[in-house]
């Protein structure tokens, strides 16, 4: 059964001008793009998006980074999308990520790690709603 997940190309990857390469890697892996835009979020929005990490040592750095420049939120569809996309991007720390994964290829560090991926279908739905109106998701239209 088709499943949806939610991705973000983070500010480091936008600054490196590798948005096209990352989208190519995602679509070559069999994902369909249902919605995508380039936007920028405030510190408050970044703190809300990553609220689950509030209190962790890296939280302020994460909020500063995610609000530091343009980002590209994307809604993706594929069989087993959540797990397959997490496998495609690799581990949080690019130094530990497998060869050929997006973070291994494009990330700079554990903090500036090129892409986000939802960790469950439920979180993916909530994260999608954070960035997109229902009407902006092409796959929702007849």
117 near ligand ATP (CB under 6 A) = yes
Token code pair at residue 128: 């999608």
- Which one from 116, 118, 124, 127 is the annotated catalytic residue? 116
Binds ligand ATP by CB under 6 A, chosen from 4, 13, 78, 116: 116
Strands 32-36 and 115-117: unpaired
Q: How many CA atoms lie within 13 A of 57 on its CB side?
A: 1
113 near ligand ATP (CB under 6 A) = yes
111 near ligand ATP (CB under 6 A) = yes
62 near ligand ATP (CB under 6 A) = yes
Calculate the alpha carbon distances from 87 to 1, 26, 106, 109 in Å: 18, 11, 15, 18
Residues at the interface with ligand ATP (CB under 6 A): 53, 58, 61-62, 92, 110-111, 113, 116-117, 119
């Amino acid at each position: 059964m088709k499943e949806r997940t939610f991705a973000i190309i983070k500010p480091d990857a936008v600054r490196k001008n590798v948005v096209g390469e990352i989208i190519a890697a995602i679509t070559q892996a069999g994902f369909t793009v249902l919605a995508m835009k380039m936007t920028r979020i405030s510190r408050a929005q970044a703190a809300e998006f990553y609220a689950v990490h509030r209190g962790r040592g890296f939280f302020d750095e994460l909020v500063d980074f995610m609000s530091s420049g343009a980002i590209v939120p994307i809604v993706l569809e594929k069989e087993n999308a959540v797990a397959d996309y997490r496998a495609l991007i690799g581990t949080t720390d690019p130094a530990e990520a497998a060869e050929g994964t997006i973070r291994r290829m494009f990330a700079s560090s554990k903090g500036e790690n090129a892409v986000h991926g939802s960790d469950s279908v439920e979180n993916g739905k909530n994260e999608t709603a954070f960035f997109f109106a229902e009407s902006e998701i092409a796959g929702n239209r007849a």
